[in-house]
Amino acid sequence: MKMTDTLFGHTNDEPVMEYTLVNDSGMSVSCLNYSCTITKILVPDRCGNIENVVLGFDQFFDYLDLSPYFGCVVGRAAGRIRNAEFTLDGESCQLTANEEPNHLHGGKKGFHSVIWKSEPIETESAVGLKFFYRSKDGEEGYPGNLDTTIIYLLNNQNELSITYEARTDQKTIVNLTNHSYFNLSGNLKRDCSEHVLQLDGDRFLELDSDLIPTGRLLEAANTPFDFKHGRLLKSGMKSSHPQNVLAGNGYDHHLVFSKKGENTVVLTDKESGRTLLMTTDQPCVVLYTANHLEGLYSISGVRARNYLGVCLETQGLPIDFNQPHFPATLLNPDEVYRSTTTYRFFSKTIGV
């Protein structure tokens, strides 16, 4: 196993480095110190062809100008916060309304748009990186200085783990995720409509027309949101279920795991034979099928179009203080926010 680095660009006079982690089993992961962005994940298909299974740009300036959160860490709070405000202990906190009138994915200067300190990690069983960022009290409107450490580790079992840790000096809210768009066909040969997703979740959150959870948990049984026995993503893209239509003909929803603790999500592309087995300690995953990706730009030579990738954003339930039955993602000064999601790649289909 080894790690290499190259200069990828500059932002605000700071160098942007691209690190590549390589294991002994034919897998590599490349990432930046800018927003901890995962730029490439190269894994073999069933015939041994090693290809990229995430969406990313070849040039750094495209990340600055065009990126719909490709591969980055999202924080301080993933998702949308209505009217860009919430109340903590009776005090109202006004956040940046970067998707008027709401707050999206941590705001304008969210975790996706800053340089993180980085340090290589080498152990007997893994190679990786440790990223660190201090978000100052009041940044994008959030209270408290928040120190966040994110660790990426790649091992010889073709497993990438992401561990998030955060500490604050004032009561605040935190909900972190990674926003990689997966496409297991390899080098964007096909879109994700033929990918099969499997997970154990009985309920999902209803969205309103701003794509913000209303607070209602809907039953997944007998709807395109039931993934228990594996389901082609295209069934939601083509469905007339009002929630699929509202999301832009697809999914952009919090799928809530049925059981507490560790849960797995399996994503398979039968044609290439590739499978992603994702394991997480978070209570839900936002499934986003890139329903609004279409644009006048290209992604590694492929024109941006809807359904070209699928995001599996593991996270806490949404921060919506108007819905008291949702446990808020609160962090107190004497606590540590800690969460891990692992992504293991197979070159054969499993479990579905």
291 vs 304: CA distance, rounded Å: 11
**Beta pairing partners, 127:** 122, 154
Asked if 251 touches ligand FUC (CB under 6 A), the answer is: no
List the catalytic residue out of 103, 179, 253, 254.
179
Q: Which is nearer to ligand FUC, 188 or 293 (CB)?
A: 293
Secondary structure (DSSP) of 12-66: TTEEEEEEEEE-TTS-EEEEESBTT-EEEEEEE-TT--EEE-B---SSHHHHHHT
335 an active-site residue?
no
Would you say 40 or 254 has its CB closer to ligand FUC? 254
Which long-range contacts link 204-208 to residues 24+ away (Cβ below 8 Å)?
204/243, 204/253, 204/254, 204/255, 204/256, 205/253, 205/254, 205/256, 205/284, 205/317, 205/318, 206/243, 207/243, 207/246, 207/247, 207/252, 207/253
Between 31 and 312, CB nearer to ligand FUC: 312
Residue 204 binding ligand FUC, by CB under 6 A: no
User: Which residues partner with 201 through β-bridges?
Assistant: none
252 belongs to the binding site for ligand FUC (CB under 6 A):
yes
Residues from 270 through 329 that contact ligand FUC (CB under 6 A): 286, 288, 292, 311, 313
Nearer to ligand FUC, 42 or 278 (CB): 278
Count of residues interacting with ligand FUC (CB under 6 A): 9
Nearest approach in angstroms of CB 109 to ligand FUC is: 17
Binds ligand FUC by CB under 6 A, chosen from 26, 68, 141, 215: 68
Active site residue 179: yes
Which parts of this chain interact with ligand FUC (CB under 6 A)?
68-69, 211, 252, 286, 288, 292, 311, 313
